[in-house]
Amino acid sequence: MIFHIYRKSVMPMNTLIETANSLLWGRFTVALILCCGIYHTVKSGFIQLKLPKHLFSSDGKNRLGAVTSALAASLGTGNITGCAAAIAAGGAGAVFWMWLSALGGMALAYSENRIGAEFGEKYPKSARGPMLYIEKGMGAKWLASAYAVCCLGAAIFMGSMSQSGALSDALSAQTPLPRYICSLAAAVVTAAVLFSSDRAAEGVMKFSARIVPVMGLLYVGGCIGLLIISKCDVSGAFADIFSQAFSLKAAAGGAAGITVKKAVSVGLRRGIFSNEAGMGSSVLVHSEADFGEPQSAGAWAAFEVFLDTIVCCTLTALVIICCKTNDITAAFSYGFGRWGGGFVCLCICMFALASVLGWSCYGEKCLCYITGKHCGKWCRLVFCLACAAGGFIATESVFGISDLFNCLLMIINLPVITVLTMRSGK
């Protein structure tokens, strides 16, 4: 009876959320993202080609922790399943459009983190982030508060519930454990890391510095190993990508999947597992480190987008195209047998956990800005509860609410960093 009432109440809510998303993630948002990406690419002097020059241009401290924490937040489960969705909707050519979008995203990530570093030089680490450059640069504290509210919502739904739900789905498919047990276990691990230090950022940085390199190497190594063992025609896969890139089907499916790497069927709004470029969220954790020069902070943020999309998603795409299946688990099972499913499950769990921990830093800083008080422990508790709830709540509802917050973040942040870039002349 209770379950029946719950289903009846959730269905109208999902319809309302879907309608709101259809309006927000329309042509205006797509045009905003593309135009800003082109502008910041040109304004930065094509930073994509100058990354090596800026990556090691200073002797900043705690750089590894900040970089791995930001990368942990963006390397969600979409890096494994996102390409499959894009290719399913737009064919192999969708991958080409993903590459183009990543190039624009690198410029956006560079600009927002450079601006964040410039404004944060005169303020303590706890005050740095997008809220600072929105408040001080635009003179709009109300807009900075609105950004903080949206980012907190994204942290709870996108950064915690959705990732925990994906982890629960993967584990429950490979083990006899129900979804809610898996999400509760994820919440326990999250709590252990978050409460290991007085400041969540410190604990997450230490954890990320250890797990993210291992996580990335494990997945990259698995993809390369599968391509070698299966004697895949990699050159043929690249040929398919370029030959199908300009077909109408590829443009329709890819333009959405490119920018977000997740579920092209739902369009650009499904940015839940994207590289977050343009949202301003990575500035929150990069501000915890001393990069020495603002350009260095921006360059490392752009490099994260490169690893997130150009490297991880390209390898995923090659595996899917070569194995001729949109099911990444089936692709790995094809090459590694019964161990393939377990490997994919492990990767999803690691990606999801890293993303949860990375977003916890974002949520804590946003809540502290909204309240004007240091309420880290309460925020961490709420975040762990949200992680536990991921296995109880329908995935569609969580995705829909996350989409709303993601769109609002981009609508606020992109015009701000564009105006501030124009003013600075950089």
At 267-278, the pLDDT tens digits run 344 333 446 778
Q: Which amino acid is at 49?
A: L
Per the domain annotation, does 264 fall within a domain? Answer: yes
Which is higher by pLDDT, 259 or 348? 348
Which is higher by pLDDT, 92 or 178? 178
DSSP 342-378: HHHHHHHHHHHHHHHHHHHHHHHHHHHHHHSS--HHH
CATH of the domain at 381: 1.20.1740.10
Domain that holds residue 351: 65-416
Q: In the chain, how many domains are there?
A: 1
Distance CA 271, CA 403 (A): 7
C-alpha distance from residue 318 to each of 259, 322, 337 (Å): 18, 6, 18
Per the domain annotation, does 19 fall within a domain? Answer: no
- Residue 411: the pLDDT is 92
| Span 170-177, average pLDDT | 84
Per the domain annotation, does 14 fall within a domain? Answer: no
Band of residue 419 on the pLDDT scale cut at 50, 70, 90: very high
3-class DSSP assignment, residue 290: strand
Q: What are phi and psi of 301, to 5 degrees?
A: -65, -40
Q: Which amino acid is at 250?
A: A
The angle that helices 27-43 and 395-424 make with each other, rounded to 10 degrees, is 40
Q: Which amino acid is at 167?
A: L
Per the domain annotation, does 50 fall within a domain? Answer: no
Band of residue 153 on the pLDDT scale cut at 50, 70, 90: very high
Say which range, 115-119, 220-224, 285-289, 418-422, has the weakest mean pLDDT: 285-289
Structure tokens at 349: 């769990």
Per the domain annotation, does 12 fall within a domain? Answer: no
Distance CA 59, CA 62 (A): 10
Per the domain annotation, does 41 fall within a domain? Answer: no
- For residue 362, is pLDDT > 80? yes
- Residue 200: the pLDDT is 55
Say which range, 235-244, 270-279, 365-374, has the weakest mean pLDDT: 270-279
pLDDT above 90 covers what percent of the chain?
A: 12
Per the domain annotation, does 112 fall within a domain? Answer: yes
Band of residue 101 on the pLDDT scale cut at 50, 70, 90: confident
Nearest residue to 390 via CA among 123, 147, 161, 190: 161
Q: Which amino acid is at 2?
A: I
Largest CA-CA distance found in the chain, in angstroms, rounded: 63
CB–CB of 352/186 below 8 Å? yes
Nearest residue to 262 via CA among 408, 387, 98, 109: 98
For 232-241, the CB contacts below 8 A with 24+ separation are: 232/318, 232/319, 232/322, 232/323, 233/322, 234/318, 234/322, 236/322, 237/92, 237/317, 237/318, 237/321, 237/322, 240/91, 240/92, 240/93, 240/321, 241/92, 241/93, 241/95, 241/96, 241/317, 241/321
Per the domain annotation, does 30 fall within a domain? Answer: no
Say which range, 2-11, 203-212, 242-251, has the weakest mean pLDDT: 2-11
- For residue 369, is pLDDT > 80? yes
Distance CA 220, CA 315 (A): 7
